[in-house]
């Protein structure tokens, strides 16, 4: 019964377009709790105070779903089919198309309904950046890859350009073998390439120094002056540590039509971005991750990288 149900769940996930599906037993993450506490105590979360909340929920899936037996991890490839033009301000690849929260949430809800239809009444909750879930840990426990020195989950077949979704359920499924190897070896390309020195030895990422933090999470209108000239023209997010990772030579363009790049992201020059009105921004990017930074945040980022480039 467990084997048949496990196969069914993985088949349904593949039918919905997920690239990989792994399963782990729902257990408390004691070791991760210690690491997270040390990271928070060092202030590496910056102004992301939400990471301090619901600590107990992050480490115990049974507190999110009472009676949880299995944690299903799903990976969805977002590597784009097209690249930005040379004159375009840089935007992280995950934000080229439609907001992944909406895309994945719909798939997760469909998966839960299909499982209920084929197996019977179950309880489960799907998460995609919507709750305090340590998704990379669960992905590794589910056999889907290892956590690289840049803090990203790396899959041996296709690299790291994936969204991670988590489904916690009381359905008792067969767990996959945990991924225990680390194929980063002595490579330090991501550490060496990070312009703000956010990636530290020991697989520690100082979130408060990451370009993605400054361009997305930071709500203050002033970016610290010490970061001037270090953004390498990144306006929203940053892919440097992934772009230099040797494992991403195996990345393949996504087949998810919802992630088709918005034309403006590929082609607008810095000047065209700077001339854009708030009304136009809302019209073009209403379903885009860029809306998370809002128009004011985007304008702040543009001014910062423009001044760093010597433009007034």
DSSP 159: B
Pair 230, 146 in one domain: no
pTM of the model: 0.91
22 vs 143: CA distance, rounded Å: 6
Q: Over the stretch 142-200, which tens digit does the pLDDT of each residue have?
A: 999 999 999 999 999 999 999 999 999 999 999 999 999 999 999 999 999 999 999 99
Among residues 129, 170, 232, 243, the one annotated as catalytic is 129
Burial class (CB in 10 A: 0-12, 13-18, 19+), 165: buried
DSSP 216: I
Q: Domain of residue 221: give its range.
A: 189-253+263-308
CA–CA separation, 205 and 211 (whole Å): 12
Q: Which residue has the tokens 């403006």?
A: 264
Q: Which residues contact 56 (CB under 8 A, 6 or more apart)?
A: 63
| Number of domains forming the structure of the chain | 2
Evaluate whether residue 174 is within a structural domain.
Answer: no
| Same domain flag for 243 and 165 | no
**Model confidence pLDDT, tens digit, residues 15-60:** 999 999 999 999 988 766 666 666 666 666 565 555 555 556 667 8
User: Do both 236 and 287 map to the same domain?
Assistant: yes
Distance separating alpha carbons of residues 254 and 80, to the nearest angstrom = 6
Residues 154 and 286 in one domain: no
Q: How are beta strands 153-154 and 146-147 bridged, if at all?
A: antiparallel
The whole-number average pLDDT for the span 270-294 is 94
Query: Contact 163/94 with Cβ under 8 angstroms?
Result: yes
Q: Does residue 12 belong to any structural domain of this protein?
A: yes
Quick check: is 129 catalytic? yes
**Is residue 182 domain-resident?**
no
Domain boundary among 121, 138, 169: 169
């Amino acid at each position: 019964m467990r084997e048949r149900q496990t196969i069914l769940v993985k088949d349904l996930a593949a039918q919905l377009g997920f690239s990989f599906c792994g399963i782990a037993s729902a257990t408390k993450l004691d070791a991760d709790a210690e690491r997270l506490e040390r990271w928070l105590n060092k202030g590496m979360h910056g102004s992301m105070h939400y990471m301090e909340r619901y600590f107990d929920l992050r480490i115990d899936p049974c507190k999110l779903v009472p009676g949880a037996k299995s944690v299903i991890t799903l990976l969805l490839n977002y590597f784009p089919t097209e690249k930005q033009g040379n004159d375009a301000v840089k935007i992280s690849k995950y934000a080229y198309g439609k907001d992944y929260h909406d895309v994945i949430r719909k798939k997760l809800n469909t998966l839960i309904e299909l499982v209920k239809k084929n197996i019977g009444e179950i309880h489960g909750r799907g998460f995609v950046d919507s709750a305090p879930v340590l998704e990379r840990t669960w992905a590794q426990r589910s056999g889907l890859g290892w956590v690289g020195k840049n803090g990203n989950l790396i899959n041996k077949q296709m690299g790291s350009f994936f969204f991670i979704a988590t489904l916690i359920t009381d359905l008792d499924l067969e767990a996959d073998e945990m991924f225990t190897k680390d194929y980063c070896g002595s490579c330090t390309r991501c550490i060496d390439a990070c312009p703000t020195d956010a990636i530290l030895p020991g697989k520690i990422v100082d979130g408060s120094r990451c370009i993605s933090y400054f361009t997305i999470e930071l709500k203050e209108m002033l970016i610290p002056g010490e970061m001037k000239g270090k953004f390498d023209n990144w306006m929203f997010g940053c892919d440097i540590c992934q772009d230099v990772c040797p494992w991403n030579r195996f990345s393949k363009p996504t087949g998810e039509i919802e992630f088709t790049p918005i034309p403006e992201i590929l082609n607008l020059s810095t000047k065209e971005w700077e001339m854009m009105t708030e009304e136009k921004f809302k019209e073009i990017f209403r379903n885009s991750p860029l809306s998370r930074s809002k128009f004011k945040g985007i304008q702040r980022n543009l001014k910062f990288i423009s001044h760093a480039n010597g433009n007034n």
